[in-house]
Structure 1
Amino acid sequence: MAALRATAPGGRERWERTNYAGRTVELYAGPATALAAAIGVGRIRPAAGLAVAVAGLCGAYDDVAGDHRRGLRAHMAALREGEVTSGAVKLFGISAAGLVAGALMKERVVDKALAGVVIAGAAHVVNLVDVRPGRAAGAVVALGVPGMVRSELAAVAVGAAGAVLPDDLGERVMIGDAGAHALGAALGAAVVEGNGRLGLVAHAAAVVAAAACGGAVSRVTAAATFRSDEACRHSCE
């Protein structure tokens, strides 16, 4: 993160965003967190490290090229019209990487599929909770610490999230989609490594349910924002 801040590739404006409170925060933490998690996970489980790296890259693309669309339906509707949104890139890219990692981490076909769902789903869910400072990193620490008993990968996820958490909570940095997706994929890989068939079923059901609920909330929020903008425009007119 310090190296990125010192060099600021592409100019400092590219690495600055305005958060929910109107404060200017830096995006250096996102790629740094993704890189740290990918290297740490990859040293233990190369296939999982690749999934974390892909999740971080897809998230970084959305940080740079993302648009106003929110929710799976919006991105799928755009795809049917021939437009490939950054959300669609994330969906297919992270899902493919999760399935490949799951296939290499487990032996039986059913377990391979479940593992892929858990890794990709965890990446998506952690990104969904990244709506306020420290939410995503804090969730990874809280969920990952108990898993450290069963998986070294959980320690990697907790370490990467814990390292950036103080600056995130202090609203000095933003981990963005790059950091949130990478941390989520690392947490999902830890779950896969530390669980058998029953645990995988339970976690797969949990991430699918959380993603569905999050998608519904995202659509409601987007609709409310649209109505608010419309009301503001009419009142100005």
Structure 2
Amino acid sequence: MSAGRRLATAAVAAATTAVVRGVLDTSPPGGPGVWTRTNHRGEPVSMLEGPAVAAGLVAGSLVGAGSPRAALATATAVAGAATFGLVDDLREDAATRTKGLRGHLGALAHGRLTTGGLKVLGIGATALAAAAVARPAGGHAVRPAARAADTLASGALIAGTANLLNLLDLRPGRALKAAALAAVPLLLAGGDGAGTAAAVLGTGGAASEQDLAEVDMLGDGGANALGAALGTALVLGAPRPVRLAALAGVVALTVASERISFTRVIERTPVLRELDAWGRRPAAPVEPAADGADGARPGAAPA
């Protein structure tokens, strides 16, 4: 992919994100109250960033896709992650507030389908469909069993990355910064995943100002969509050994998140702490109320 096309992709993604966000602000579906949450400062914050980011990712990826298959795979992964993430954002049962991947899977095991459980199943299904369409980088193995295993691993990578970005969306700008850092190598590699990586960077650039200012937040819909786009870029552009290594890393971090606070690790690591705080408003004088291991931002519960 040429440098000009990468720039065009990022520009389309950024412009779409900004335009859709403006339109939604003028006429939010269901009214502003449906999309408004209160943050740890006691201030209102909007989740309209989520659908705007998803729209930007889809538009940018369509422009930058290296093939119709790549375009369809990315659109499927992003749309599925955004849709099921928004269901969890807007329809979560506040009375139960089941948290974490383990909590939602535990509820499913006992015959109770939470909105988070529905999200796990829905994003898993759409991620698998996207992987089947994508034909991962490096080509499929000839044997049907090996081909199926490769598709399953790629689907797990897309779904796992969608969940991991949501786990990081606990402080303003954190998920956007993590997505940008992960997208840059994929953009520079220039393979089939470069277009999706450019869309991630363009969308993140358009959304970052209001996210860092704590006017907007990604919510599950936006964070899951951003992670699904990154996962799809990996599937499209990275060779099989890299994909498998990335999947192992995503699984390890997801398992660790059930016991370890990412926020505490970041705060204790100088380089990560400075990067995490860059561009953000000064910390509130009052500690946020505990909400899981990390004190999640409203509407951004993991899994």
**TM-score normalized with structure 2 length:** 0.70
Structure 1, residues 61-91: CA drift from partner, whole Å, max 9, x if none?
0110124111122212222332210111111
1:155 corresponding residue in structure 2: 198
1:169 corresponding residue in structure 2: 212
1:119 corresponding residue in structure 2: 158
Give ranges in structure 2 of 5+ residues lacking alignment.
1-20, 66-70, 142-146, 262-289, 296-303
For 2:116, which of 87, 91, 101 is the aligned residue?
87
- The amino acid across from 1:85 in the alignment is T
Taking the aligned partners of 1:114 and 1:81, their CA distance within structure 2 comes to: 27
Q: Give 1:176 shift.
A: 0.5
2:175 corresponding residue in structure 1: 136
2:51 corresponding residue in structure 1: 31
Counterpart contact for 2:76–2:129, Cα < 8 Å: no
2:127 corresponding residue in structure 1: 98
Counterpart contact for 2:172–2:214, Cα < 8 Å: yes
Q: Give 1:221 shift.
A: 6.0
Taking the aligned partners of 1:19 and 1:89, their CA distance within structure 2 comes to: 25
For 2:242, which of 196, 199, 202 is the aligned residue?
199
From the superposition, tell whether residues 27 and 222 of structure 1 become closer, same or farther in structure 2 (CA, over 3 Å).
closer
From the superposition, tell whether residues 166 and 75 of structure 1 become closer, same or farther in structure 2 (CA, over 3 Å).
same
Q: Give 1:15 shift.
A: 1.6
Number of matched pairs? 224
2:228 corresponding residue in structure 1: 185
From the superposition, tell whether residues 189 and 224 of structure 1 become closer, same or farther in structure 2 (CA, over 3 Å).
closer
Taking the aligned partners of 2:36 and 2:80, their CA distance within structure 1 comes to: 23
2:73 corresponding residue in structure 1: 47
Taking the aligned partners of 2:109 and 2:254, their CA distance within structure 1 comes to: 21
Give the secondary-structure state (helix, strand or coil) at the position aligned to 1:22.
coil
Taking the aligned partners of 2:158 and 2:294, their CA distance within structure 1 comes to: 31
- Percentage of identical aligned residues: 39
Counterpart contact for 1:104–1:112, Cα < 8 Å: no
Q: Does 1:70 align with 2:99?
A: yes
2:29 corresponding residue in structure 1: 9
**TM-score normalized with structure 1 length:** 0.88
From the superposition, tell whether residues 80 and 113 of structure 1 become closer, same or farther in structure 2 (CA, over 3 Å).
closer
Counterpart contact for 1:40–1:49, Cα < 8 Å: no
1:146 corresponding residue in structure 2: 185
Q: Give 1:30 shift.
A: 0.8
Counterpart contact for 1:160–1:183, Cα < 8 Å: no
